[in-house]
Structure 1
Amino acid sequence: MQNEMIDRPLDRPPERYGSQGPSRRKRRLIVIAATVLVVALGVAIAAVAFTRLGSADVKGELGGYRVVDPGTVEVTVSVTRDDPSAPVVCIVRARSYDGDEVGRRELLVAPSPAKTVQVKTVVKTSAPAVVGDVYGCGSDVPEYLVGPS
């Protein structure tokens, strides 16, 4: 008789204690379903991030910079692209001592036979600059940079 009481859950009056929660089996199913949902959501987020942030068809790296005077910085960019026959655009900028952007310029990189090319440009600044850098490069070249076809 004592074994029988241990295996069987106690029946509590719902009027006094409220209704009992879901059974152990239902709780386990809820946990499994939630886990599957979280994993599926994580895979979906990873897939979207890879397609948007994955290997870019254009990569621009800072080759060097030279502060010409307080209002001018010369920036050298090393541009690598999957399709060197297509023009690309890079955004280069100058930054002040405190990190603020004080100058910016869009740079058209013309088609070339080489996959990697180095280009130089001059960035005019609104305040004294201490460094030049590459903000980024892309293959979506604005119409005003290439001119009419």
Structure 2
Amino acid sequence: MAIRHVEPYTEEWLHQPISYVQRVVEVLGSEVTDWWEGPCDPRCATVRLSDGGALVWDEESGWRFGRFVSGGRGLPTELSGVRYLGHGLLPRPERVPEALRDARAGVGASSAWRPCYRSHRNCRDGFDVALDFYSRLVDA
């Protein structure tokens, strides 16, 4: 299988995280009330939850959870009481619900400290190859 590189800042690149976030939304099921892509630099997405909370994913820090304050499609999301879920930038979607439970309880790998796994400015570090894996799952 050939490694596919997506050219940075193209439409395909901008929307590349969607397949991963959709998979997480599917795993969370009825707990999700809405979700959307956020702005770029870094690429991000917001998942609104039925309890008034939200999960936000970005390509530098992975997933964080908090109480939804404001945001919307194409806008930055503001959360209060933020906890980062840990487990890297792209934890397997099946691991996100458990990490979310830990963040809600204030235990486990979750932390109020913001991790920085990579810089969104480093467009050739191989991260897009990992994202492409989820695109291929959806396309299959």
TM-score, normalisation: structure 2: 0.27
> What's the TM-score once normalised by structure 1's chain length?
0.26
The answer to which structure has the higher strand fraction is: 1
In our comparison, the structure showing a higher alpha carbon Rg is: 1
